[in-house]
């Protein structure tokens, strides 16, 4: 469970709030869209979840852990529970699809036999089992995003955060990506998607939290893009 308890963030003391008195609870296995114009505070909220930054005031608790208490040893362990997906995919272009995904397991010291099995399984899940020897630049944008999703979930995170995952994709590929995130969510992973993509938000009818000027404007179950 994720609990923002009166969380505010000020980057620069002379400036205004990036987030102001945010109160949100997100239960395990929820699917949440985060919307709001540029500068609204979406990235700040995501960075707080990743514990890249900490609240100026208030508390953010994720699965019982107050993120402000994380440090040296506990921070990497905490981050392992969070999968990240970005608009620009961020795959390693000098590594194959297989190597890109396997790498995420190698750095955790997984045995190569387990890596082989899990990479195969996750490639099946994203529907790209025939692309393991390809390099990212040989794939379409939609395929690259599916690989980045495979990489993000390979270590079975409890939380998957997608920051504008469909920003570089056409409508058809965007729907495919969002359906994939929905399928992963239905296996129990909490999914948070920050987006400007009106079409996918309206199609999915999930919880929609709208942020504007650092404050929550609305928080609606089965919401639409507003």
Which residues contribute to the site for ligand ADP (CB under 6 A)? 11-12, 18, 36, 38-44, 121-122, 125, 153, 156, 183-184, 187, 189
Structure tokens at 50: 């990743």
DSSP strand pairing (215-220 vs 207-212): antiparallel
Shortest Cβ 73–ligand ADP spacing (Å): 25
- String of b and e for 203-226 (b: at least 16 CB within 10 Å)? ebebbbbbbeebbbeeeeeebebe
**Smallest separation (angstroms) from ligand ADP to the CB of 157:** 7
Give the shortest CB-64-to-ligand ADP separation in angstroms: 21
C-beta atoms surrounding 95 within 10 Å: 14
The Cα 186–Cα 30 span in angstroms is 9
Q: Which is nearer to ligand ADP, 93 or 100 (CB)?
A: 100
Token pair 């965007």: residue: 174
Smallest separation (angstroms) from ligand ADP to the CB of 97: 15
């Amino acid at each position: 469970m994720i609990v923002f308890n009166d969380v505010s963030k000020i980057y620069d003391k002379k400036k205004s709030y990036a987030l102001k008195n945010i109160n949100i609870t997100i239960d395990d296995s929820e699917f949440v869209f985060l919307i709001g114009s540029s500068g609204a505070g979406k990235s700040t909220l995501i960075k707080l979840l990743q514990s890249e930054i900490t609240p100026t005031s208030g508390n953010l608790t994720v699965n019982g852990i107050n993120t402000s208490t994380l440090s040296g040893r506990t921070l990497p362990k905490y981050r392992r529970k969070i999968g990240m997906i970005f608009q620009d995919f961020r795959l390693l272009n000098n590594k194959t699809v297989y190597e890109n995904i396997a790498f995420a397991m190698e750095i955790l010291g997984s045995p190569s036999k387990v890596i082989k099995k899990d990479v195969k399984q996750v490639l099946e899940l994203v529907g790209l089992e025939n692309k393991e020897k390809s390099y990212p630049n040989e794939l379409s944008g939609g395929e690259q995003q599916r690989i980045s999703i495979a990489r993000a979930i390979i270590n079975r995170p409890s939380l998957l955060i997608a920051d504008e995952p469909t920003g570089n994709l056409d409508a058809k590929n965007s729907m495919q990506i969002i359906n994939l995130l929905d399928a992963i969510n239905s296996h129990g992973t909490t999914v948070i998607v920050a987006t400007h993509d009106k079409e996918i938000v309206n199609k999915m009818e999930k919880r929609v939290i709208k942020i504007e000027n650092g404050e929550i404007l609305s928080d609606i179950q089965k919401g639409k893009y507003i």
